[in-house]
Homo-oligomer: A and B are copies of this chain.
């Protein structure tokens, strides 16, 4: 496999050379000054809890407000492998659930709900005039010339309307999805793998067709690359600057990083349920967070009003939501409530219910990544809670 040269990319610390420090060099000066304070970026780390692990987090079950209308909600949450559920109406936490062993201040992997966060950062930079969504991707990232991204605009990538040869077969090591994971450090590397996620993205090929929905995680990483290019910041830093630092979040989020230090924007963010709900709150507040405006009201309205129904090709999604569409890294149901959601495999949802000004966060660990069975159960929980909120 060819592994194209890309970059330069934002430095890990001011003055660091591209790609430095490596796993074999972080202990040496001058890298050690940065690395000793950022070791989790180089080496996997476990928490040494300041709470006694012999008394693990008790389950938190505060579902009383919904109990009259949804008496079997707790059973349904257990059935759908829920780790955390949070229902936020306005600024009031109406209901909350954490399974035994998962505490309110534990972080949970968002999988592709991470994409909606990246879309929001792109939105902020569009508002600032730093990204023009009508421009071709290669205007910002010329290294993608000759790839599937040579031609499509930023908006088409935001809306996942780019035809890409991307095999989603998780069992085939030659598939793009597995190579993507390995390039990002989510699986063990193999000989011949691209050096990092940037190099992987540059290997992708496509038909050049645009305008039809094709869900592809690589699109989000391309957006993150554009974010880095126009801000000069690492994606993790841009995500903080343009979103996380404005939320009045309880805790830092985390994002997995590859050997180049590039954050895995399409699926690698972990945070608490409460902090994720703050992202939804900002959207329902027209783009305004406690720390200031994140995105324009226009951007939020574009998300909440949905994308192109004609472009939508996902039959599973339109089977559940006939008016469904996808825009700006959000799934838009097109139902009468106008529900919009960030969605991640294995049961992650950041669900917006505009009629009741409510956010529903559900973080789960379904045994299957993406089957119709689990989606149906999960959607029913989210819709039933939304309807219950009408009369509360």
Give the interface of A toward B (CB within 8 A). Answer: 22-24, 27, 29-30, 32-33, 35-54, 81, 83, 102, 106-109, 185-188, 233-234, 236-237, 239-241, 244-245, 247-257, 261, 263, 268-271, 346, 363, 365-369
Q: How far is B254's CA from A47's CA once the two chains are assembled, in angstroms?
A: 4
Question: Given A45-B40, A48-B244, A102-B37, is A53 in contact with B256 using a C-beta cutoff of 8 Å?
Answer: no
Contact B41 A254, beta carbon cutoff 8 Å: no
Shortest Cβ distance from A262 into chain B, in angstroms?
10
Q: How far is B346's CA from A199's CA once the two chains are assembled, in angstroms?
A: 35
Shortest Cβ distance from A74 into chain B, in angstroms?
18
Question: Given A33-B83, A241-B54, is A44 in contact with B43 using a C-beta cutoff of 8 Å?
Answer: yes
Contact B44 A185, beta carbon cutoff 8 Å: yes
Taking A44-B44, A46-B236 as known contacts, 17 extra A-B pairs with beta carbons closer than 8 A to each other, sorted by chain A number, are: A24-B188, A29-B368, A32-B367, A36-B83, A36-B270, A36-B365, A37-B108, A39-B270, A40-B254, A41-B46, A45-B257, A47-B252, A47-B254, A48-B236, A48-B252, A53-B233, A53-B241
Of the candidates B49, B234, B239, which one forms a contact with A240 in the assembled complex, judged by CB atoms under 8 Å apart?
B49
A247 to chain B: which residues have CB within 8 Å? 50
Q: How far is B257's CA from A249's CA once the two chains are assembled, in angstroms?
A: 28
Residue of A43, A52, A53, A363 most packed against chain B (CB within 10 A): A43
A50 to chain B: which residues have CB within 8 Å? 240, 244-245, 247-253
A37 to chain B: which residues have CB within 8 Å? 83, 102, 106-109
Contact B368 A256, beta carbon cutoff 8 Å: no
Q: How far is B51's CA from A247's CA once the two chains are assembled, in angstroms?
A: 10
Residue of A251, A256, A363 most packed against chain B (CB within 10 A): A256
Contact B240 A52, beta carbon cutoff 8 Å: yes
Shortest Cβ distance from A46 into chain B, in angstroms?
4
A234 to chain B: which residues have CB within 8 Å? 46
Contact B33 A255, beta carbon cutoff 8 Å: no
Q: How far is B52's CA from A54's CA once the two chains are assembled, in angstroms?
A: 36
Interface of A (DSSP majority class): loop
Q: How far is B270's CA from A129's CA once the two chains are assembled, in angstroms?
A: 41
A366 to chain B: which residues have CB within 8 Å? 29
Contact B185 A241, beta carbon cutoff 8 Å: no
Contact B42 A44, beta carbon cutoff 8 Å: yes
Residue of A30, A251, A252 most packed against chain B (CB within 10 A): A252
Name the residue of chain B whose CB is nearest to the CB of A271: B48
Q: How far is B45's CA from A29's CA once the two chains are assembled, in angstroms?
A: 22
A36 to chain B: which residues have CB within 8 Å? 83, 108-109, 270, 346, 363, 365
Contact A244 B46, beta carbon cutoff 8 Å: no
Q: How far is B36's CA from A186's CA once the two chains are assembled, in angstroms?
A: 12
Shortest Cβ distance from A285 into chain B, in angstroms?
18
Q: How far is B28's CA from A187's CA once the two chains are assembled, in angstroms?
A: 12
Contact A252 B44, beta carbon cutoff 8 Å: no
Contact A187 B241, beta carbon cutoff 8 Å: no
Q: How far is B377's CA from A117's CA once the two chains are assembled, in angstroms?
A: 48
Contact B46 A40, beta carbon cutoff 8 Å: yes
A244 to chain B: which residues have CB within 8 Å? 48-50
A257 to chain B: which residues have CB within 8 Å? 44-46
Of the candidates B54, B188, B254, which one forms a contact with A48 in the assembled complex, judged by CB atoms under 8 Å apart?
B254
Shortest Cβ distance from A325 into chain B, in angstroms?
28
Of the candidates B30, B109, B261, B363, which one forms a contact with A39 in the assembled complex, judged by CB atoms under 8 Å apart?
B109
Residue of A106, A237, A247, A248 most packed against chain B (CB within 10 A): A237
A53 to chain B: which residues have CB within 8 Å? 233, 237, 240-241, 245
Name the residue of chain B whose CB is nearest to the CB of A14: B101
Contact A187 B33, beta carbon cutoff 8 Å: no
A81 to chain B: which residues have CB within 8 Å? 33
